[in-house]
Every structure is written in structure tokens, then in C-alpha cells.
Amino acid sequence: MTASTVAGRRPPAHPLPDEAYRRTSWVLRGGLLIAVSLLVAALAAYLLEHPGATSAGAISLNPIAPYLTLGGLAHGLAVGAPEAYLALGVFVLIATPIVRVAAGAYYFHRVHERTIGWVTVAVLVLLLFGVLLLGPWIH
């Protein structure tokens, strides 16, 4: 028994307000919906532009490689290259859980849940390390 149940009060079911759960779930749903929409539309446009393309050919050519830099992506989006929109869909898919973890860290900080807040920040740092430093280094 904890001190709060001894005093006749029950501890909250979860430390975050319902608003936090709703907003963070919308981050995941919205990010996934945007990413899948981008990927499906870009894949359809790519197949219309390259009707004889095969998955083996696309994998060996890696058509999104020129769009993996900020400048390349901006240029590709400006000219309407389907490959750039495929890259953008992948970026949104990768960014979605990162934004969700950042939102969780914010909400834990807001309700003064220090331990889980620091754990969430550590997860965020590891995600960013993997995406921004380790990923390009392996490439």
C-alpha cells in the first residue's frame, strides 16, 4: 500500500492528462497517414513515369538517392520528381515516432514526471543519434 491509498486517495491511473494521450496518438496517426499518402501517390507517379520498372531495377538504381540531402530534396520537390516525393514520404515516416517521443518528453516535463521524462529524453537523443549521425555514417 502506498501513502496515497492509505490517506484514502487513489493514485491517478496515468501521470499524463488525457489531452496528452490524445495529442500524441494524433501525432502517430497523422504522421502515418501523411507518410502512406505520400508514398502511395509517389509510387503511382513513379510507375506511370517508368512503366517498365521492376523492383529489382529500382533497388539496384536507388532512385531516391539524389533526394536524400536537403538541397536535392528541395530541388526534386520543386520540379515534381516522384522520387523526391518517395524520399519525403520516407522522411515523414522516420520523423513520426521521433516527434511522438519529443511530445512525450514535453508532456512528462509539464506534469513534473522527472524520471520518465529523462528516460524519454534519452530515447529521443538515441533516436536522433541513429538517424542524424549513425545513419549517414553507415551509408
Residues 55 and 99: their CA atoms lie apart, in Å, by 31
Q: How far is residue 1 from each of residues 6, 12, 16, 136, measured CA to CA in Å?
A: 7, 14, 22, 50
- Say which residue, 50 or 15, is predicted with more confidence: 50
Buried b (16+ CB within 10 A) or exposed e, 46-63: beeeeeeeeeeebeeeeb
pTM of the model: 0.76
Q: Look at residue 9 and give its three-state secondary structure.
A: coil
What pLDDT is stored for residue 138 in this prediction? 78
Is pLDDT at 9 greater than 90 in this prediction? no
Report the mean per-residue pLDDT for the chain. Answer: 86
Residues 1 and 67: their CA atoms lie apart, in Å, by 57
Per residue in 52-106, pLDDT tens? 888 787 778 888 889 988 999 999 999 999 999 999 999 999 999 999 999 989 8
Q: Work out how many domains the chain is built from and give that number.
A: 1
Q: Quick check: is 81 in a domain?
A: yes
Q: Quick check: is 109 in a domain?
A: yes
Domain with 93, as residue range(s), is 17-134
